[in-house]
Chains A and B, each alone.
Chain A
Amino acid sequence: MSAPITGSRSAAPAIPGAIPWRVVIPPVLAAALMLAVLGPGAALVITDVLIMVLFASSLNLLMIYGGMVSFGHAAYFGLGAYGLALPVAKLGLPVWAALALGPLAAALGALVFGALCVRLSHIYFAMLTLACAEITYTVLFQAYAFTGGDTGITKFMAPRLGLDPRLYGLVVLAVVCVCLALLWRLVNSPLGLAIRVVGEEPHRAAALGYNPRTVQLVAFMFAGLLAGVAGTLFSVYHGNAFPDYAGLGFTIDALVMVVIGGLHSFGGGVYGAVIYTVLKTFVSRYVDEWELVVGVILLAVVLASPRGCAGALARIGAMLRNKSS
């Protein structure tokens, strides 16, 4: 219990700072092409996947780079949704003006909760983030007069701003790409290196002159901001906001994505979100017991390959490279 929760075996891969275009461009083009060519139904699924990619990547930043396992990341997703929905529904703000308020609300929430949470580490950090998320959820759920309780806020705007699903999918794709590029820049900046060193070796980081709490708080806030963007996109996508968006269910979804995607890599959140969301969409068409399936997959992944799918891909890649050289 002396090392941070994931940092015990040295975490994130060593990467040069440039964006690896060769890895990035094909999937982005493929997504854009699928959005343009396939029907609206497929576009809805792809949009869902893209939003989850952003959500999972924001948690990935915290867990893999910051060494902080949050058990309440959905709080910021929910704040992103309510930050949009409440001003529009209650104050009559136009939607375009409220779009920035969602992520802002999430970042503010992350600043306040994060300031408390980064005082703790390990399991205590996880518990406190869980408590913060449950407070958020309970307030959203029980402040019936203001938030509508469990009936949520609906009909305050046309889903997807009234856009065609394909067009909205492209918008989401663009936003997610920009956010991931920012995230990439962050983790490869000096600040990102500070986040990593604090995640792996807090004492050494402190000896180097970093204030671990400040660095962690910045990471927490940035992760909250990105989760808020995802929440806002999600709220626009459905044209509603429910307390469940801040609930344990979404938190566990994100955790599962990061874990099956693979710990210790930037792409982990991306792979995990794609695999998880696609699988969920198709499996739940045929069987009701989606959670059972997830549980079994998780057990298998954790017992068989603790580094998840990204780890498996990296291993395969290394094998191929060895063969060719």
Chain B
Amino acid sequence: MIAVQIVNGLMEGMMLFLIASGLTLIFGITRIVNFAHGSFYMLGAFLTYQFSPYLLPGTVGGFVLSVLAAALCMMLLGMLFELLVLRRIYGSDDLMQLIITVALVLVIRDAVRMIWGRNDVVVSMPEGLSGALQIGGSFFPVFQLAIFGAGVLVLAVMVMVIRFTRAGILLRAATDDRGMVALLGINQSLIFTGVFAVGSFLAGLAGGLAAPFGNINYLLDTTVIVTAFIVVVIGGLGNLYGALAAALAVGVLKGLGVLFFPRLSMVLIFLIMAGVLIVRSLGREAVGK
């Protein structure tokens, strides 16, 4: 029983990582805490629901296609948002940047409610991925294993890109020191738009992949964004590998928490986040940085 919960937790952790990775990438480069990230996730799920009847319904390939299409749509939306809105406020208060992403959350939520209504929608599981796999004495749902695999794949691609491509080098450089990168004559706004596009793509991808897993409704955005924040904060804002470790840990903790103290597992996770924040602050000065 415990083993099953741990495995389930690892899979949920991988989902969490997919969501949190985009959030932490965006923060690392642009220093913007994107509240709308959860909304992009939600839209990704809804668009997957919208696309899947048209793209080879019921098959694994069709599912993958609709998820990718949804993620690409989110990438476009993220780019548009960055170009039209965020670009105008990079220099202003942190508060303004938070507020403007909150505004986007409100707009997207009502738009989703207008288009798809208040009721849950369900994306049916592709046939090839339903059922369970027997390993040892326990059963593991194939779909969750597939999600885990997809998560590992995305992680591998990200690591490769970050380590070995020019874009990855720029990304790392910009995370370390934006000013220096700009001084070297590299177009900073291009990096910002690019990282926002990639982050939004990841949010849409995560939403699409998770779509058959649970009910999709217009309230998904806040639950997702709060959990993603926790992961990002525990992992260290802007730290990709930290987010991976934190996501897996939070996933496992949630899985085990359901077993031992179902009522308080979320409280426990919040407490861990608070603890991490405070322990980090102990090393710093009381004020300022």
Contact = CB atoms under 8 A, between A and B. Distances in A.
A185 interface: no
Most B CB within 10 A of own CB, among A63, A126, A134, A248: A134
A128 B226 contact: no
Given A1-B31, A122-B94, A212-B287, A255 B263 contact: no
Given A263-B95, A289-B113, A299 B103 contact: yes
Contact of A295 (B106, B226, B280): B106
Contacts of A212: 286-287
Interface in A274-310: 288-292, 294-296, 298-299, 302-303, 306
Most A CB within 10 A of own CB, among B95, B113, B237, B277: B95
B102 interface: yes
Interface string A125-141: 01110111011001100
B231 to A, nearest CB: 12
A189 interface: no
Given A116-B274, A203-B287, A289 B95 contact: no
Given A124-B281, A135-B267, A291 B286 contact: no
A138 to B, nearest CB: 5
Interface in B94-146: 94-96, 98-100, 102-107, 109-111, 113-114
A10 interface: no
B107 A296 contact: yes
Interface stretch (B10-18, B84-92, B196-204): B84-92
A240 interface: no
A303 B229 CA distance: 26
A295 B96 contact: no
A252 interface: yes
Contact of A306 (B92, B114, B286): B92
A244 to B, nearest CB: 12
Interface of A: 1-2, 5-6, 8-9, 63, 69, 71, 116, 119-124, 126-128, 130-132, 134-135, 138-139, 142-143, 198, 202-203, 206, 212-213, 248, 252, 255-256, 259, 263, 288-292, 294-296, 298-299, 302-303, 306
Given A120-B277, A139-B267, A248-B222, A302 B289 contact: no
B273 interface: yes
B233 A127 contact: yes
Interface string B274-289: 1001101110001111
A89 B33 CA distance: 40
B100 A302 contact: yes
A252 B277 CA distance: 22
Interface string B256-277: 0000000110110011011001
B33 to A, nearest CB: 6
Interface of B: 31, 33, 85, 88-89, 92-96, 98-100, 102-107, 109-111, 113-114, 222, 226, 229-230, 233, 237, 263-264, 266-267, 270-271, 273-274, 277-278, 280-282, 286-289
A295 B105 contact: yes
Contact of A131 (B105, B222, B230): B230
Contacts of B281: 119-120, 124
Given A5-B94, A131-B274, A203 B266 contact: no
Contacts of A248: 222, 226
Given A128-B277, A302-B96, A291 B107 contact: yes
Given A134-B270, A135-B271, A6 B103 contact: no
Contacts of A5: 93-95
B57 to A, nearest CB: 31
Contacts of A252: 102, 106
B226 A2 contact: no
B230 A63 contact: no
B112 to A, nearest CB: 10
B289 to A, nearest CB: 6
Contacts of A123: 33, 94, 237
A136 B7 CA distance: 30
B274 A128 contact: yes
A302 B89 CA distance: 9
B288 A302 contact: no
A49 B222 CA distance: 26
Given A132-B274, A203-B288, A259-B99, A292 B263 contact: no
A115 B144 CA distance: 41
B287 A131 contact: no
A258 B267 CA distance: 29
Contacts of A122: 94
Contacts of B230: 131
